[in-house]
Amino acid sequence: MNLLIDIGNTRIKWAIQSNQDLVLTGALVHLNHPDLSTLLDQCWQALERPVNVLVSNVAGQHFQHIVAKWSMQTWGRAPEFVTVKSGDFKLMSKYSIQSLGIDRWMALLGLYGRFSLPAIVVDCGSAVTTDALNSTGMHTGGLIMPGLTMMKNALFKGTCVQPVSSGYAGHKIGVDTDGAIQSGTVNAICGMIDRFVLLLEQQDCINPKIVLTGGDAQSIAEELGRPVTIEPDLVLLGLMRIANQV
């Protein structure tokens, strides 16, 4: 079996690959955790020794070192930390490969060959990223903005506004400060997605399929007002394509 690991800025997700399926998926928050080695015990201590361990990591070298050490001590397996390689599965990119996050590339690999093209993937995580694949499978670029929690935290840090609990306003105009913040942040992301689709329609004359992933995907999908598909394991699906070549 292969263990596939997606280390994001806030959460760590994993899945066991069995043939062409993902099984035994799980996720835990790692951000600000006091003991990452203990957290990894909670994640994987009960698993059988995997044949291969493949990792997509955007949480930095320190976390990468801890995962590598834990895997070697527990299973005697050195993980493979995948990197961005334009040309994987004939997937090409106009984007600067040196600055393209591995999570975005794995999500594109997960998208490519699984969904009809042209398409965009919107990762609604700590940051929100949009990336487009045209009808030939070329990654034509994307947009990046802060995610829901990051936008709210920036507002609370930079102003005297304090969060209160009054419920979620959805797409409606807020009638109190908390509702206005909740609605404003969601609408900011929905507006970016709408604008991205408009730019693609104007520049490339395409009407892309929209695929959402990430922890806030459901909240955004409910307010976007466009047909979307939610695929929560898109990065892991990209890792599975890499694992099939190992």
Largest interatomic CA distance in the chain: 57
Q: What is the CATH number of domain 116-232?
A: 3.30.420.40
Is 131 assigned a catalytic role? no
Rounded CA-CA distance 118/135 in Å is 4
pLDDT tens string 57-96: 999 999 999 999 999 999 999 999 999 987 778 889 999 9
The DSSP 8-state label assigned to residue 166 in this structure reads -
Fold of the 2-81 domain: Nucleotidyltransferase; domain 5 (3.30.420)
Cis-peptide into 232, omega within 30 deg: no
Catalytic residue, candidates 6, 88, 103, 216: 103
Q: Kindly report the backbone phi and psi dihedral angles of residue 136, in degrees, each rounded to the nearest multiple of 5, phi listed first.
A: -95, 0
Do you know the residue count of the chain? 246
Lowest mean pLDDT among 96-110, 115-129, 151-165, 177-191: 151-165
Residues near 196 by beta carbon (within 8 Å), at least 6 away in sequence: 120, 130, 132, 142, 143
pLDDT tens string 27-48: 999 999 989 999 999 999 999 9
Asked if 223 contacts 190 with a C-beta cutoff of 8 angstroms, the reply is yes
Q: 209 to each of 44, 117, 120, 169, 181, how far by Cα in Å?
A: 35, 7, 6, 27, 29
Categorize the per-residue pLDDT at 170 as very low, low, confident or very high, splitting at 50, 70 and 90: low
Beta-bridge partners for 18: 21
Q: Residues 180, 181, 184, 190: what is their CA dihedral angle, to the nearest 10 degrees?
A: -130
Determine the pLDDT at residue 239: 96
Rounded CA-CA distance 178/164 in Å is 6
Residue range 194-220: average pLDDT?
A: 92
Q: How buried is residue 12: exposed, middle or buried, by Cβ count under 10 Å (0-12/13-18/19+)?
A: buried
Categorize the per-residue pLDDT at 176 as very low, low, confident or very high, splitting at 50, 70 and 90: confident
List the chain domain ranges. Answer: 2-81, 116-232
Residues near 174 by beta carbon (within 8 Å), at least 6 away in sequence: 180, 181, 182, 183, 184
